[in-house]
């Protein structure tokens, strides 16, 4: 099951790259968003692979000089680092699963002589390493969904892009744009649900310049703080916090 889950996520890893490259191409925000120099100073195989994929996406990497804005949203600028880091983690998880499939995993393992048997590797049937790897897979899946959602949102949101807000112009002559836009919005909503573990507080404010959220757990609101913790934390402005700088 762990192998199948990993293989499925590995096969899906190219789709966030495609979404990011397509969005970058349509918005045309930066003349050269992912230059070769990006991978010179950090030796990350995943980042290098994603950069190669993005640069191979044709028009998405060709400067046109017709920029929609001076700077792309953070989700477009950091997708190289996020998707590269996810690919590196997938490679690490593949090593964990491969070792578990290759090694003896029955409990107990019996060896020795029939007159003097010995048992080994007790408790390995629990599969703690694989269980932790599967937990990381769920986080990575949420991260892929989150970054894909951000890219598609930048593409379909009229506050961030140049596509029409709802209906296509020119009396419906460009209805294919409207169909693509509605499809993208539907995918955004689905990805928001799938990526709930990789979002902060379960909500996203669209069309912000810094909109890449990489928190791995939902934030706890004030109403969710237990009373026994609330009673022990002095309010801001009281003696322990007096004179402290707040962000």
Give the residue extent of every domain in the chain: 2-241
Residues in the chain: 247
Q: With contact defined as beta carbons under 8 Å apart, do 122 and 65 qualify?
A: no
CB atoms within 10 A of CB 137: 20
What is the mean pLDDT of the segment spanning 122-131?
71
Q: Which of 160, 158, 183, 159 is nearest to 169 (CA)?
A: 158
Percent of the chain with pLDDT over 70: 50
Mean pLDDT of the chain: 68
Q: How many CA atoms lie within 13 A of 90 on its CB side?
A: 27
Q: How far apart are the first and last CA of the chain?
A: 45
Q: Does domain 2-241 have CATH number 1.20.200.10?
A: yes
| Model pLDDT for residues 34-61, shown as the tens digit of each residue | 666 666 666 788 888 887 777 776 554 5
Q: With contact defined as beta carbons under 8 Å apart, do 138 and 149 qualify?
A: no
Give, as one character, the DSSP assignment of residue 235. Answer: P
Distance from C-alpha of 143 to C-alpha of 195, rounded to nearest angstrom: 6
What is the mean pLDDT of the segment spanning 209-216?
45
CA geometry: angle at 241 spanning 238 and 247, to 5°? 125
Taking the whole predicted model, whether its pTM rises above 0.75 is answered as no
Distance from C-alpha of 229 to C-alpha of 203, rounded to nearest angstrom: 25
Question: Is pLDDT larger for residue 75 or for residue 100?
Answer: 100
Residue 185 buriedness (CB in 10 A; 0-12 / 13-18 / 19+)? middle
pLDDT band at 93 (very low <50, low <70, confident <90, very high): very high
CB atoms within 10 A of CB 32: 12
Taking CA atoms, 173 is separated from 85, 167, 177, in Å, by: 42, 10, 9
Q: Is the pLDDT of residue 74 over 50?
A: yes
Give, as one character, the DSSP assignment of residue 28. Answer: -
| Model pLDDT for residues 137-173, shown as the tens digit of each residue | 877 887 787 777 777 777 777 777 666 665 555 655 6
pLDDT score at 40: 64
Q: With contact defined as beta carbons under 8 Å apart, do 49 and 90 qualify?
A: no
């Amino acid at each position: 099951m762990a192998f199948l889950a990993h293989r499925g996520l590995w096969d899906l890893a190219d789709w966030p790259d495609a979404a990011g490259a397509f969005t970058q191409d349509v918005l045309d925000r930066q003349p050269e968003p992912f230059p070769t120099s990006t991978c010179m100073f950090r030796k990350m195989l995943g980042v290098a692979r994603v950069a190669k994929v993005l640069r191979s996406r044709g028009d998405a990497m060709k400067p046109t000089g017709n920029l929609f804005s001076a700077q792309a949203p953070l989700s477009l600028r950091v997708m190289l680092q996020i998707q590269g880091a996810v690919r590196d983690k997938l490679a690490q998880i593949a090593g964990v699963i491969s070792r578990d499939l290759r090694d003896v995993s029955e409990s107990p393992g019996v060896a020795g002589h029939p007159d003097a048997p010995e048992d080994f590797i007790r408790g390995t049937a629990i599969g703690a390493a694989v269980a932790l790897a599967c937990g990381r897979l769920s986080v990575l899946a949420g991260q892929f969904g989150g970054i894909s959602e951000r890219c598609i949102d930048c593409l379909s949101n009229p506050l961030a892009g140049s596509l029409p807000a709802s209906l296509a112009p020119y009396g419906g002559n460009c209805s294919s744009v409207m169909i693509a836009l509605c499809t993208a919005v539907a995918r955004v909503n689905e990805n928001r649900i799938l990526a709930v573990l990789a979002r902060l507080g379960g909500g996203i404010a669209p069309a912000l310049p810094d909109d890449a959220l990489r928190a791995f757990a939902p934030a706890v609101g004030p109403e969710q703080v237990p009373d026994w913790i609330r009673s022990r934390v002095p309010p801001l402005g009281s003696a322990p916090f007096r004179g402290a700088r707040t962000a």
